[in-house]
Amino acid sequence: MMNVMTEVKKQRNFAYPSARGYGAAALLLTLLPFLLQNQLYYLDTLILALLWASAAGAWNLAGGYGGLLSLGHAAFFGIGAYTSSLLFVKLNVSPWLGMVAGAVLAGLMGWFIGMITLRMKGPFFGLATIAISEVLMITAVNWTELTQGSQGVNIPYKPGFVNMAFDSKIPYYFIALAICLVPYLLARWLKESKFGYELMAVRDNEAAAQALGIHTVRVKVVIIAVSSSITAMAGAFYAQYVTVIEPYHEFSFSVSIQMVLMAMIGGLGTASGPIFGSLVVTGLDTFLRDVFQGAQGGIQAMMYGSLLVLVVLFVPEGLIPWFTRRFRSGKGEK
Amino acid sequence: MKRSKFVSISLLLLIVSLFVNACSPSDPRADSHKVRVGVAFPTSGNLAKIGQSCANGTQIAADMANARGKGPKIELAKVDVPTAVTGVHEVNRLILKEKLQLIVGTYASPISLAASGITERNHAVLWEVAATDPRLTRRGLKYVFRPNPDATMYGPATIQFLEEVVAPELGLKNGEMKMALIHEDGDYGEGVAASTKKAAKKAGIPIVEEVRYNAKATNDMSSAILRLKNAKPDIINMVQYNTDAQLFWKQAEQMDLNAKVFIGNGAGQSSDNFGQTFGDAANGVLDTSSAISINPRALSPEMRKIEEEFQKRYKKKFGVEPDLIARLAFSSAYILFHDVIPKAGGTDPDQIRKAALSLDKPIGSTLVGWGVKFDESGQNTRAAMSVMQWQGGELAVVYPEKFKKREPAMIPLPKWSERK
Amino acid sequence: MIFLQLLISGILIGGVYALISLGLTLIFGVMRIVNFVHGDMLMVAMYLSYWLFTLYSVELYTGLFLVIPVLAALGALIYWGVIRFAIRRSHEASILATIGISIVIQNAALLLWSSDYRSVHNEWATHSLQWGDLRISAPLLIAFIGALLVTGLVFAFLHYTYLGKAIRAASMDRFAAILMGVNPQRIFTVSFAIGTALVGVAGALLSSVYAVHPTLGTQFLLISFVVVVLGGLGSLRGAILGGLLIGVVETVSAYFIGASMKQLVYLLLFLVILIVKPAGLFGKRIPEVNQ
């Protein structure tokens, strides 16, 4: 428990900005898409960054705060993408409702997975989640009547609010921002709620938490379910934004890993870490693609891999905690 | 005085230049010296081999069109799009940041479907040179063009070949030729297999077995081969990528899988790597595809020259012989760079569409043997398929009659035990 | 007859899985890290033997003896350069590090050797032994025998040398081993080098079976994790038996259920084992990772 307390204190600077800070941030976030209206490519980059930030943030709830190192969150991402797209394409259900349906379905799935993986720890939990997302991938490929198999689902572009399809990129930005705020606010809440303390206690020492009377099973299962639901929302948004989904990508290991990496780079178990991590990774990716355009494919991926290694070697706790520490120590010296 | 003279001379020059411009639309280089075209292929990740060939072929097409100097000089902006989501992002970049209106791409169907949504919304053209998903041109998109055949054309071409060449050779009627399918379970395998099944049904050729497998996760083909063996087919029809095609063929020899005809569909069996790996053991394998190298006599004299030049330039620039997919990409991109862009006088999407729809070239007028006639949906209706065969370490066209370089041989294919 | 052939094929491909998993189980067992570089080391080893064969006409089974030391050195280098720092922190960090290295190696291979599919086509490649209607693939049989030999050697090393005993001690109880004067850094470096060298053996033996390309490793990585967990962490015997079991399950289910669904069967088996018996079929309980 001590661990948790000091951690909360440590992050006060970044995680709890002042009221004025809030106002400024809100204003900036609202104005940003309009400022970028003539820089649509950067707006597109920003939307993708927010999309991955929501998924990474959702992962972070279970992975960062709960210590449940899932390597198969693509399962939920895929469930979200498939549920909303199939409902829309086959039954003409609005993707807004589809997103909710996907979140509920993924939540139930998360609940189930949480129950069956309770005894697993560390790497075993991770490997089990990889296996689960692979199982879903194979199901999606082979259950052709439902999913259209490996040909994937192509979402017809019919602009309109109900269809969650727009001519302008600005509405997409605000949807992505809204989804992204869900895990962020939840993470903030975790830091000051009883449930959050229980969760972090379970993460830090399960046996001790149990001894203190915390219902560890319930805590873990709830956080996996919540994390899965939000990941599914990100998946549903992805499907609407990209308009094509296919099992070999949506349920892939690389999608799972992307969430994990962004959260880790930003800082595990911090509210703003995944957002920051996503901005850094997406921004860097965009920048590298710009610099190396036309070059043999692979160079930018190599730089990306090297960055990961460098983060592990030099900023192992993640960028947000690292900045916070620097900021604090800088102040202390004055 | 001096000043007014200067002004009037400038004015005169301006008028003259305007006049010259207006009167000489036949020389579009005067008003647009160069255009930039986006090129988006997966050059990293697991499609890298094919994506790189496509990008190379497109590059040579641009070089050669520029050397001809018929239209504006073409500059390529190449990007790497290993997945659908990077496809969306990169195509957005090309259109929104680089202000390009024309994208050549993308090889893989999911990437193509995703990219075409972006190009259409942003009033830009997607010139697809390799993807085969029929849905691409069936969604009512205005600015998508595909010179190459879609997946639905493979089946009929294969079946026609079986009816016209194989059946007489084997002395079997359609109903007596038992066919088995083995295909990867991705978009490409499923699409081609579906069209083959449909065409076979129509022709009354029985399908006795169908084996689907995941190309990315298959380390062993023995179960699949056993199933094929058990079905005792006369014809085995394969839709495979590179690694799985090689594994399949190795294990087919090891497990003594025999059939009278082995026929592939593009990709795996048409890759240069297939011949490099197996040498003589590849001989006799057939492959339905867009022709790699058709008989020069079926080509127009102009195309014969282009064929030679393409070979030479490709070899010089990339140090290897062009493979099938590079040729395909070259052929399709060359139509765009050499015929469409000069005619459209630039890359304006509506002009490109007009110019593309007005093309009317007979069969044999492209490097790979097709003609060009786009329908309203942007699909080339004269995209023809041919059947090739590995003979003496080389892949040569054996069908149709008009394109063939060599006679079909080794039908029926000798058993493994009788070879060598 | 069909069933016998399926069994034979299953055992052969199971031998391949076992061979690849041996190194992984050693690393996993000793260091408890999920090593995502393992598949890429297989890829590197296959390229090495391919180039040795193509450029210097070194036969595969001779090249083996050149590939092993190179891979061992590479493994030690990776451990010494990166993993060493990550392992002190958390398994999150070490997973991140191995994924990073994996991305770097795959793309370096793409840049260096292009995306072409390369495979060694020697006289063994498509050879098979016949016995009535049964067929036994020669290169797979050799790989299988290789797997058994290597297991024997590693087993002897772990049980009869001081270093080997220290490795086993560290894998059973790291803390106690340190108290007994075992230098953990040295043990880890050696284990990582040996683990990587073992996958080098696999690479050399398999380069005539599979066409190598930069992303080849990913196709073997997941299945070798399945094998390792099934067999029990750090258990060589478990890796062999787990590999054979998975091979047979895969082959039989591919035949009866369909090749496209075969993964489903072994992944579900894997999940059931994780739920019911997380220590694996043949492993011992490990306090840090099992409850």
Report pLDDT digits (tens) over A50-67.
999 999 999 999 998 988
Angle between helices B242-254 and B222-231 (to 10 degrees): 60
The DSSP symbol for B173 reads -
Query: Chain A to chain B, count of Cβ pairs less than 8 Å apart?
Result: 102
Lowest-pLDDT range of B274-283, B386-395, C64-73, C88-97:
C88-97
Residue A7 pLDDT greater than 70, yes or no:
no
DSSP codes, A256-320? HHHHHHHHHHH-TT-SSHHHHHHHHHHHHHHHHHHHTTTSPTTHHHHHHHHHHHHHHHH-TT-HH
Chains touching C by CB (3 or more pairs below 8 Å): A, B
Nearest to C28 by CA among C291, C274, C288: C288
Query: What are the domain boundaries of chain C?
Result: 2-116+134-276
Q: Taking a C-beta distance cutoff of 8 angstroms, is the pair B352, B167 a contact?
A: no
Question: What pLDDT does C75 receive?
Answer: 94
Confidence of residue B324 (pLDDT cuts 50, 70, 90): confident
Architecture of domain A2-333: Orthogonal Bundle (1.10)
**What was the pLDDT predicted at B313?**
94
Token pair in block for residue A213: 């009377």
Instruction: Test C104 with A264 for CB contact under 8 angstroms.
Output: no
User: Any idea which of A9-18, A301-310, B159-168, C42-51 has the lowest mean pLDDT?
Assistant: A9-18
Q: What CA–CA distance (Å, rounded) separates C48 from A118?
A: 43
Q: Where do you find CATH 3.40.50.2300 in chain B?
A: 29-149+298-358, 153-289+386-418
Strands B286-289 and B261-265: parallel
- Residue B291 is predicted with a pLDDT of 62
| Percentage of chain B exceeding pLDDT 70 | 91
d(CA C3, CA B309): 56
Q: Which among B43, B220, B281 is the nearest to C126, CB-wise?
A: B281
CB within 8 Å: B96 and A242: no
CA atoms within 13 A of residue B199's CA, in its CB half-sphere: 22
Helix locations, C79-183, DSSP H: 84-87, 91-113, 138-160, 162-172, 174-179
**Choosing among C233, C262, C274, which should be mutated to test the A contact, i.e. which has the most A CBs within 10 A?**
C274
Torsion angle in degrees (nearest 10) through CA of B196, B200, B202, B204: -170
For range A313-325, the mean pLDDT: 84
For residues A154-178, give the mean pLDDT: 88
How many Cα atoms sit within 13 Å of C68 on the Cβ side?
Answer: 12
**pLDDT of A16 higher than 70:** no
Question: Is-contact A183 A57, C-beta < 8 A?
Answer: yes
Instruction: Report the distance separating Cα A275 and Cα A59, nearest Å.
Output: 12
Task: Find which of C33, C85, C92 to mutate to test the A interface (most A CBs within 10 Å of its CB).
Answer: C92
ipTM of this complex prediction, to 2 decimal places: 0.86
The DSSP code for B108 is S
Please, which pLDDT band fits residue A17 given cuts at 50, 70 and 90? low
Helices (H), B137-289: 154-161, 167-170, 187-203, 222-231, 242-254, 267-270, 272-278
> Where do the domains of chain A lie?
2-333
Cβ separation of A249 and B89 shorter than 8 Å?
no
Mean pLDDT, chain A, rounded, equals: 85
Q: Give the pLDDT score at A232.
A: 96
Residue B323: closest CA among B51, B81, B20 = B51
pLDDT band for position B29 (cuts 50, 70, 90): very low
Average pLDDT of B45-59? 87
Find residue C209's DSSP bridge partners: none
Q: How confident is the model over B307-319, as pLDDT tens digits?
A: 889 999 999 999 8
Within 8 A of C137 by CB-CB distance, chain B residues are 222, 251, 254-255
What's the confidence (pLDDT) of residue B302?
Answer: 82
* CATH level 3 topology of B153-289+386-418: Rossmann fold (3.40.50)
Residue A293 has a pLDDT of: 66
Give all chains having 3 or more CB-to-CB distances under 8 Å with chain B. Answer: A, C
- Percentage of chain C beyond pLDDT 90 is 25
Among the residue ranges A179-193, A319-333, B380-394, the one predicted with the least confidence is A319-333
What are C40-89's pLDDT values in tens digits? Answer: 999 999 999 999 988 888 887 888 899 999 999 999 999 998 888 888 77
Within 10 Å of residue B348's Cβ, how many Cβ atoms? Answer: 17
> What's the fold here for domain B29-149+298-358?
Rossmann fold (3.40.50)
Q: How far is CA B45 from the centre of its chain?
A: 20
Residue A106 pLDDT > 90: yes
Q: Mind listing the pLDDT tens digit for each residue in C107-162? A: 899 888 887 788 877 777 777 888 877 888 888 888 889 888 988 898 899 889 98
Note the pLDDT of residue B60: 94
Average pLDDT of every residue of chain B: 84
- A219-228, A315-324, C258-267, C281-290: lowest mean pLDDT where? C281-290
Which chain B positions have a beta carbon within 8 Å of C263's beta carbon?
214, 217
Per-residue model confidence (pLDDT) at position A15: 47
Average of per-residue pLDDT across B183-196: 89
- Taking each helix axis from N to C end, the angle separating A253-266 and A319-333, rounded to the nearest 10 degrees, works out to 10
- The CATH number of C2-116+134-276 is 1.10.3470
Q: Do A123 and C34 touch (CB under 8 A)?
A: yes
Distance from the Cα of A196 to chain B's closest Cα (Å) equals 34
A5 or B160, greater pLDDT? B160
Query: Residue C77's CB: how many other CB atoms inside 10 A?
Result: 14
CA distances from C5 to B115, C144, C178 (A): 46, 16, 49
Residue A301 near residue B44, CB atoms below 8 Å = yes
For residues B152-177, give the mean pLDDT. 88
Q: Give the residue-averaged pLDDT of B250-254.
A: 88
Between residues A101 and A313, the one the model is more confident about: A101
CA distance A155 to A167: 15
**For testing the chain A interface, which of C84, C103, C112, C227 should be mutated: the one with the most A CBs within 10 Å?**
C103
pLDDT at residue B320 greater than cutoff 90: no
Residue with tokens 């081609």: B192
A309, pLDDT greater than 80: yes
Taking the CA of residue A318 as centre, how many other CA atoms within 13 Å lie in the half-sphere pointing to its CB?
26
Place of tokens 């309770």: A118
CB of A38 within 8 Å of a chain B CB? The answer is no
Q: Over the stretch B326-384, which tens digit does the pLDDT of each residue have?
A: 888 998 999 999 889 988 888 899 999 999 999 888 887 888 878 889 998 899 988 87
DSSP line for A188-257: HHHHHSHHHHHHHHHHH-HHHHHHTT--HHHHHHHHHHHHHHHHHHHHHHHHHHH-EE-HHHHT-HHHHH
**pLDDT at residue B232 above 50?**
yes
